[in-house]
Amino acid sequence: MSNEAVLHAPAGLVHEEHHGHHHHHESFITKYIFSQDHKMISKQFLFTGIVWAILGGLMSVLFRLQLGYPNETFPILEDLLGKWAKGGKIQPEFYYALVTMHGTVLVFFVLTAGLSGTFSNLLIPLQCGARDMASPFLNMLSYWFFFAASIVMISSFFIETGAASGGWTSYPPLSAIGDFSEGSKAGMDCWLISMALFIVSSLLGGLNYIATILNMRTKGLSMTKLPLTIWAFFFTAVLGVLSFPVLLSGAILLLFDRHLGTSFYLSDVFVSKTQTALPNEGGSAILYQHLFWFLGHPEVYIILLPAMGMASEIISTNSRKPIFGYMAMVGSLFAICILAFLVWAHHMFVTGLNPFLGAAFVLLTLLIAVPSAIKVFNWLTTLWKGNIRFTPAMLFAIGFVSLFISGGLTGIYLGNSALDYQLHDTYFVVAHFHIVMGVASMFGMFAGIYHWYPKMYGRYLNNTLGYIHFWVTICGAYLIFWPMHYQGLAGAPRRYYDISNWHFLKGFDGLNQFISTVALIVFATQILFVFNYFFSMFRGRKLKNPNPWGSNTLEWTTPINPGHGNWPGEIPEVHRWAYDYSKDGREYIPQTEPIGAGESGHH
Amino acid sequence: MSGFFVLATILLIYVVIFQIAKASEYVGVLKGEEVMRKQSNRINGFLLISFLVLGLVGVWYTNHLYAGKTLFAQGSASVEGERVDSMFMWTLAITGAVFFITQILLFWFAFKYQEKDGKKAVHFAHSNKLEAIWTAVPAIFMTILVVIGLRNWFHFTKEAPADAVVVEITGKQFNWIYRYPGKDKVLGKTYFKNISDKNNNPLGQIWEDKANYDDIIESSEMHIPVGVPCKLVINSRDVVHDVGLNHFRMKMDAVPGIPTTLWFTPKFTTRQMREKLNDPEFQYEISCDQMCGPGHFSMRGVIVVDEPTEYKIWLATKKPNYWTAFPEKDPTKQPPAAVDSTAKKTAEVKAADMKIVKK
Ligand code: HEM
Ligand SMILES: [Cu+2]
Ligand SMILES: [Cu+2]
């Protein structure tokens, strides 16, 4: 094994002594808190992401309780939440704060910071063969900005008027004027400040990822030899760097409108409560929507691409087959990345958008189906005639593909403006984006955690718990979100606290109860996973083989518990792409192995 | 007490699951990792194919339970909406086929090509031909859908027919206000700073504009005639709302400061729909589909579709809002001058009271 060659090379050991800076004295604070080691920062992102995932999940359990059992009271909620659950019933203001925070937290804090932050940080240096990020210091700052954003967001729940409650999209004028809703008071300021901090975090991280991938690849590792994970993280970072600043400007203008009397988004607004017409004139509420969705749509790919990259890597490794159509996979990532910038207005078909403009957005939106289809067919062909090992990571990767198909197909309905004319903002949309973005990316993230946990901690997660986690979660995900399509087709609007007053929505009480019950079970199962995670950190089965999955990529050539600097000796040189599985009768050929004399041609 | 029980049970379940998981790991160490891996591989392979079969049954069963409850089962209540329905069916056919093919392949491949002793994976890294096929085929189907979609889209968004009945609908937290242009068929100009609920000017009509004199304002229901195109001019008084017309298959945002429009031709009167669906309480409900505040879920409007003659009669009973705002201008009342001035006085006193209360 080549990694052993690296490990046991005497020169390497001597080297280590000399390069003392890899093991310079570290205090608890520099090692665990203000760490500049990409591996520790990645764990910090993951920890914080897990905490947020639990909170975000808990919020969905609470509001599902209201949706499933609108006529019941739960006195314990009043004990815990006070006025927000007066009489044991979640109040509308609080319901909307929960929905808003649930969306914001899961989209940005869990599936952007928690996903990209964790895996870009962990894998970019390891799979590119770098000692650390281009700028470890900015990398550390990136985490701490995220941490600050988290604190601000959390604190908004403890404000007297409650957290922001205008939906995760926070459209003005609702979000601009405190008189329109309690959540539009101080809670909205917290939301905006938190988002601004988060964007800074995201930019620092993204610039670092791009710089590292472009400049710090080891010898021999040309871009076309990169594993697909790295390509995915690269395009993700590009998307983030180019689109997050637009949201920042949108948020800042909103703050101006709120506090400095500007009229970027405001015009013709009358406040019934105080019977006053606001002085603002000439602004456009639609401008905010453009700024928001110019990030908002790329954002869904920021969430999805890392999951795609990791699923590609995991499916190939565990099928013991090269990923099918490597160049097509890279090309489709590239196409998705470009198109992601050109489709934002498909969220705005019914805002009175110019119909001709709408038509252009229909065309570009449905065009995304092509690279997406290529990816799906390539994954399927990768499985075909493989010799598949169902590790928990592999199951989650297969689940990812299944969910991506199911959720991606409903995008074709919503992207076609004439159909969106009916479906917009119904539960059909809730079903669509949860399956394709929410749950699918969660599956990508779980796959990544199960696959790279041994790299992070030198131990395995418990497999049985992993299997239980997978099976309950995939069944639960479909049971929760599949029937929601039908509610949407019956016209049920999203963000409805209670549907009992609507005649045309009668007949879904049983279904709503069922969904809420399943959501509760799925949530409980995630707790099991969290327990597995923390238990295995200390008590999990220890890794003996530094390359447990028989993988080709560079991260498995480091020692089992790599120190700061990753490789004790020289950084290994790369001679081939990452996917030489089952080639010339050998099950796998690591990237570090030189091309043999009699070896058949490169892919 | 029961809460405690539930908690204890949940905890117990966790502990049991955890113990099983721990035990199976020890067994694995004893049996050897290889053996254990192969065993769980077989189990999961079997579960994957079972998931496929049960999933397909589940898809059928969900459809069986709920397809009848969707709006498609009723058919479109507007002429234009029929296009939405047929487009939906086309899209369903195409995406449905892709769904079944790819999901079946996915789980079937996973099951069929699970790890077996002595078997080797093939090294198959790419094929230009295959990749060209699955680039071209989706592209063709997408083109078909785009063509269908855009034809409908341009139909929906074109200018409403000239004979359309025009109604203005304005959203406010959390209800709708309807305005009819009156005999002159022109909606008078409005300005938001003129809005005043207590002066009976909820839309801020500019009284200098004579077109406002015959405009009728309604806040309970919108009436429109069947079989005639109806054009809605959509406004908002405060935040963004959305006029959701589920039965007519349309919706359009109400944006403060930027009026939008939408038009459709109702096919059935409310009464006909009640008979058709055998539902005596049926109403065409307007749902607000854009998050607009804590009362969003209750922002309900009603459209009553009448026979044209009924509609005319209904409209004829309505008085222009101008008369409500300025009762002295109401020709049907013609009250003596003295009474008029007292009424005005009372109004002034009331207004003063309001101010004091506000302070
Ligand atoms: C157990 C898992 C989950 C359940 C049961 C769940 C349930 C729901 C429901 C019912 C809504 C709509 C509430 C309403 O419109 O009144 C919602 C909104 C939303 N969820 Fe989830 N969700 C889950 C996980 C996720 C995940 C993993 C994501 C990550 C992307 C996510 C993102 C969102 C977003 C963005 C919204 C929209 C929030 C808004 O309307 O502003 N959810 N969720
Ligand atoms: Cu989008
Ligand atoms: Cu509304």
Q: Ligand 1 pocket: which of A434, A494, A502, A525 to mutate (most atoms <8 Å of CB)?
A: A434
- With a CB cutoff of 8 Å and minimum separation 6, the contacts of A34 are A140, A144
Q: Tell me which range, A95-104, A559-568, B26-35, is most confidently predicted by mean pLDDT.
A: A95-104
Domain A3-17+30-588: give its CATH superfamily. Cytochrome c oxidase-like, subunit I domain (1.20.210.10)
Tell me what pLDDT residue B334 has. 65
Is pLDDT of B2 > 80? no
Q: What is the pLDDT of residues A109-153, one digit of tens each?
A: 999 999 999 999 999 999 999 999 999 999 999 999 999 999 999
Domain ranges of chain A: 3-17+30-588
Residue A268 has pLDDT above 80, yes or no: yes
- Copy the structure tokens of residue A362: 């229909």
Coil, helix or strand at residue A591: coil
pLDDT digits (tens, 9 = 90+) for A314-348: 999 999 999 999 999 999 999 999 999 999 999 99
Q: Which atom of ligand 1 is nearest to the CA of A61?
A: 5
Residues A128 and A156: beta-carbon distance below 8 Å: no
What gap in Å lies between CA A317 and CA A43, rounded to an integer? 24
Q: What residue has token string 């990237």? A: A591
CA A347/CA A417 separation, integer angstroms: 10
Q: How far is the C-alpha of A149 from the C-alpha of A195, rounded, in Å?
A: 7
B334 Cα to chain A: minimum distance (Å): 31
DSSP SS3 for B230: strand
What is the CA B8 to chain-centroid distance, rounded? 43
For residues A383 and B113, is the Cβ–Cβ distance under 8 A?
A: yes
Cα dihedral B26→B32→B35→B37 (10° resolution): 60
Q: Strand B300-306 relative to strand B222-225: parallel, antiparallel, unpaired?
A: parallel
Using an 8 Å Cβ cutoff, are B233 and B168 in contact? yes
Q: Minimal CA–CA distance to A317: which of A524, A143, A58, A127?
A: A127
Give whole-number Cα distances, A26 to A22, A41, A138, in Å. Answer: 10, 15, 19
* Candidates B24, B138, B281; nearest CB to A369: B138
Q: Which atom of ligand 1 is nearest to A107's Cα?
A: 30
Q: What element of type H or E holds B304?
A: strand B300-306
Task: List the Cα angle B39/B43/B44 in 5-degree steps.
Answer: 115
Average pLDDT in the A559-580 region? Answer: 90
pLDDT band at A376 (very low <50, low <70, confident <90, very high): very high
At residue A10, the pLDDT reads: 38
The answer to whether A247 and A240 have CB atoms below 8 angstroms apart is no
Alpha carbons A98 and A92: distance in angstroms, whole number: 10
Check residue A601 and give its pLDDT: 63
Q: Does B80 touch chain A (CB under 8 A)?
A: no
Nearest to B79 by CA among B238, B297, B266: B266
Answer positive or negative: Cα dihedral of B202, B203, B206, B210.
negative
Residue A580 class from Cβ within 10 Å (0-12 exposed, 13-18 middle, 19+ buried)?
A: buried
Contacts from B57-61 at CB under 8 Å and sequence distance 24+?
B58/A478, B58/A479, B58/A482, B59/A482
Rg of chain B in Å (alpha carbons): 32
pLDDT grade for B345, boundaries at 50, 70 and 90 = very low
Contact A390 B134 (CB under 8 A): no
Best probe of the A interface among B37, B38, B109, B286, by most A CBs < 10 A, is B109
Mean pLDDT of B53-80: 94
Residues with beta carbon < 5 A to ion ligand 2? A 297
**What's phi and psi for A42, nearest 5 deg?**
-60, -40
End-to-end CA distance of chain A: 22
Long-range Cβ contacts of A347-350 (<8 Å, 24+ apart)? A347/A289, A347/A293, A347/A296, A347/A297, A348/A286, A348/A289, A348/A290, A348/A293, A349/A417, A349/A420, A349/A421, A349/A424, A350/A420, A350/A421, A350/A424, A350/B242, A350/B251, A350/B252, A350/B253
What is the DSSP code (8-state) at residue A131? S
Contact A575, A540 (CB under 8 A): no
A517 close to A61: Cβ distance less than 8 angstroms: no
For A162: left if phi > 0, alpha if psi spans -120 to 50, otherwise beta; the answer is left
**Calpha distance B324→B337 (Å, rounded):** 17
Q: What is the pLDDT of residues A498-526, one digit of tens each?
A: 998 899 998 888 999 999 999 999 999 99
Q: Is the pLDDT of residue B1 over 80?
A: no
Rounded Cα gap, residues A73 and A99, in angstroms: 19
ipTM given for this complex: 0.91
Task: Report the predicted TM-score, pTM, of the whole model to 2 decimal places.
Answer: 0.91
State the pLDDT at residue B349: 44
Q: Is pLDDT of A159 > 60?
A: yes
* Token pair in block for residue A556: 């498995």
* Helix, strand, coil percentages in chain B from 3-state DSSP, rounded to 5: 50, 20, 30
- Diameter of chain B by CA atoms? 108
Q: Is the C-alpha dihedral spanning A404, A487, A73, B298 positive or negative? A: positive
Nearest CB partner across the interface for B252, out of A352, A395, A495: A352
- Cβ-Cβ contacts under 8 Å for B16 (sequence gap 6 or more): none
Measured CA to CA, the distance from residue A588 to residue A601 in angstroms comes to 15
Distances (CA, A) of A479 to A206, A431, B56: 36, 11, 12
Quickly count: other Cβ atoms within 10 Å of residue B23's Cβ. Answer: 11
Tens digits of per-residue pLDDT, B156-194? Answer: 999 999 999 999 999 999 999 999 998 899 999 999 999
For residues A461 and A392, is the Cβ–Cβ distance under 8 A?
yes
Question: Does residue A77 register a pLDDT over 50?
Answer: yes
Q: Is the pLDDT of residue B23 over 90?
A: no
Task: Quote the pLDDT of residue A490.
Answer: 94
Q: Which pLDDT band holds residue B350 (cuts at 50, 70, 90)?
A: very low
pLDDT at residue A359, rounded to an integer: 95
Flag whether pLDDT at A599 surpasses 90. Answer: no
Decide if B131 and A165 are in contact by the 8 Å CB cutoff.
no
What is the per-residue pLDDT across A415-450, written as a single tens digit (0 to 9) for each? 999 999 999 999 999 999 999 999 999 999 999 999
Across the range A36-50, mean pLDDT stands at 94
Return the ∠ at Cα B158 (arms to B155 and B164), rounded to 5°: 100
Q: pLDDT at position A4, please? A: 34
Nearest residue of chain B to residue A544 (CA atoms): B33
Nearest-Cα distance to chain A for B310, in Å, is 24
Nearest residue of B to residue A165, measured between CA atoms: B293
